[in-house]
Structure 1
């Protein structure tokens, strides 16, 4: 199951690098840093402190940290890059 998860993360990262960028480098780095730190903070609190969930098991996992590293920055850059900023409110 986890191989399929990382395959999807790889596809997201490839798509992030291949699409034409509307964002400048500073926006990409700031977005990636915020998404990574937010993901790590929330997952540490919910998984390690409250034991609500874990990616692949209870407690800290290196594969879970890799998943955060691959998932959050690429999805946030894709979202912001493809967001219809100049469109009307209904399309947004």
Structure 2
């Protein structure tokens, strides 16, 4: 639990302190879509198929922290620093960097408690390595969609 609380504080501090791009509306959207996607995914992979779990198998209260206050600031940082106006090579490199960082973090969460809190059933790091780029691209696409909706709403006000 010490590891989880430490990174929650660290990730949230960094995400909000360094944010120069995301509006309050965008932060709210990213926060909620992250919680929704993670929770829905975990209903199946964690609870139904026992692929992995947080702290203990099955639902537990401590696992709520992972869904609600750990992952959303990570997505905020990913979007805040994303190189939107750079070349495709820079964008791909950025994505690869984030996937590697997430995989390294996942490895650290496998440490014994009190530092670690994540446990594998049949899931392994390779599953995450394949899935993480798609999840980041979904978040990126969702962010772009929210931006378009905001632009449309602002142009109607004029």
1:51 aligns with 2:53: no
Match of 2:32 in 1: 33
Aligned residues, how many? 91
Match of 1:81 in 2: 80
- Shift, 1:84, TM fit: 0.7
**Aligned 1:7-18 pairs, distance under 5 A:** 7-18=6-17
- Shift, 1:63, TM fit: 0.6
Q: Which structure 1 residue ranges, 4+ long, deviate > 2 Å from structure 2?
A: none
Instruction: Identify the structure with the greater helix proportion.
Output: 2
Q: Is 2:83–2:90's contact at 8 Å kept on the other side of the alignment?
A: yes
Superposed CA RMSD in Å reads: 1.2
Larger radius of gyration: 2
- Shift, 1:39, TM fit: 0.8
**Relative contact order higher in (CA < 8 Å, ≥ 6 apart):** 1
- Shift, 1:27, TM fit: 1.5
- Shift, 1:11, TM fit: 0.4
Give TM-score scaled by structure 2 length: 0.54
Unaligned 5+ segments in structure 2 are: 92-158
